[in-house]
Structure 1
């Protein structure tokens, strides 16, 4: 015996033994849904019985975790992870829960966590399911309870999915309402979705996209001025969601169904907006917009039919056009191709017979775009006044020393920019020049299309080009001539011969 005492210093002392011996504990409570957390006393009841259990077992409570709604289907829960981190870092031996399914319903995942905690001497104790997890039988019984909790969860999930499928197939939306809609209860106390105030603004975004061909960035700017902040990426999701035209598509459905909710826009408007978004998703463009190269993609190589692209030569400081076919050598300078296109435009006029009908149509267009949307105008005026009040409040706080100069300038720049943006939108709603000057300018432009092209930006030039020549133009480097693939009938046929005469003399 004396000999064995000499070897006591070599006995390995594990952390599990020391932790098992202490009586420190934490209490973890939870419910699954927000409604349970707000409408019943389950959390308080769990906490009460856990405290009584800890007192009876003479455990010292080191902390409380949970106390909120967290689904136990997964163990990636904030309060749950905080609790695990706490017991691992501190000298805690017990985790007290009301029942084992309050700890977790993830089955095998929960068994793995408990096994890992057990190696560190940390035990999970259930108030309503008393077992001794230190024994093999107690551990086995606890594992059975965890597996059964997962099975119960899967059964509930299967029943829930069946109900969701049935409701969706009848045209009723389930889950969180899409942006622009909100949940209410009908006369039979059943949840339905209806258009919200945000939805009325989103409705405008569809019309802007279809009728004015605005980019998502511009639409987002307009919506922000009206009080709805949304990213251009989120707008793309909206334009691609058929829910807004009354059609329900869902991962639980194999086919689309007609929804019972009120559509935000017609199916025709939705499909048009969707087609526009498909062409340029998220407004991402691969260096297409370049005011120096408006003929890109519009002019095609006569030899191979591939659209021209453009590039910039730094040494010369000049832009060039070239065929996008790597095997084709057709290229020319921007100045040369633009001069040739100007020669083409200078001989084109809108047919005189169409001037009067065109002026009549312009009158309708002018009245349509200058008509003030009173609801939109009222919202903008309200937002404008709110921004002015914020600016005055900001000045006052800066004057009395509540804000430093850097913070003052930061918010002043932000509010001023927003105020200017709203003011521009209000001015656009108020209308511009009078009808007479508008039609007079339009008539002058119709007589001089070259002037319109020279003064326009990239987008305006492209619109004019495709308006006059919907199929584009073919360019031959050898002859330095354009071949017309077709022409808008608003221009007289006489112009074609004029162009041929000009080109033959060059």
Structure 2
């Protein structure tokens, strides 16, 4: 009966699909790959037995559960064809490619590629080898190419990717041209989206109302459908910073700056970017109050009254031909109500207070050593996965050896031996591929911490140079619970940010041994301290 079924099936096959990342690669999703593979099977008369779908894993990924399942399925069942959309779907290494093909041939299974013509004749074998080599070569140069050409465009203020809605693509790639100019605006969608975003920034819309406004203004979507919340979330999550003239660098911090100034025409200002981000994150659902990020009163919301504990507000008086800004308490029963503090005096004192809490050089050096040492310690964990696969591979090879020994000792008959050996060898193959493709990304932690310490060491200058919408965030970072301002024009705070709190504690502790005790016995063990110890 089973033979009759197999006879009716003719050529049997399975499909194995995956994408190169969690995102689609070159517009080819898993579903599109599956459709292409199914059409291929239909055209070749291949009876489809099973489909193995690797969700959101790259060809370099170490998670190969579905791949292993597919190989095991070929071992345990009669499978004539192992169908993939492209050869590099399961291996980018030429050695790994031929290892897989060899195993499949042992099970009587032939590898089929939907997009590449391969065969058993000399030409087909040559082409297949070339495809495997090309896939491996493409994998090796991918990062270099990205951090070269794309980063070069970013530095020029040009986005190397397809522009978001509101801008037009000049299709340079189709014309075999390099992208030399920033993306031009879409004369239809640009003004519509710009108007709606600016209205959203004022706080007059919820996200649902924003979607309704885009439909009311007749925004033309790519697919011609109505704007919905999913569309709104996509443009606000992915493209909002682009609309504000910011080109984010995906290669940071390994290569280049965190972001670059775009040369394209912007839709919104940086202040509006911040306001919309707050609304999207649910932190500013109501219309923004006047002066919440007023450039005239940057400390509003950070200053608290020492008498009643409420936030100080800010106002301006007019007289004698001038405007006189000041901070004051508005609580009716507070003893300081009616007492005003000149804006200039308060902010000058605030700058002095920032200078007083700025960590000293000694603290910054200790902070730098502690962070670098902590990273070095944690960095050892990056090797664990590589070591884990080496250990697993050694254990599998030991199992393989024991299978042979058990066959020699007569503990396995021929069928048991063949079945057990094939299972172990398939695991060895999958683990070997994972081991070959394990890679530890390098991160210049010392350069990063050096940059951070320079930032920390000049608080007053940084605060002075920040834009109005960023100053409240900076103040929240340094003073998580705000800062008290009393009638003597002095600042007090109940809590500082961690690094500044640590600095004060260090300044308060004056050890009589601080100048004579070897710091290598008290501080984190850095490479420089290790060298000092070795020379003693």
Q: Relative contact order, CA 8 A, sep 6+: which one is greater?
A: 2
Q: Which has the larger radius of gyration?
A: 1
TM-score of the superposition, structure 1-length normalised? 0.37
TM-score of the superposition, structure 2-length normalised? 0.35
More helix by share: 1
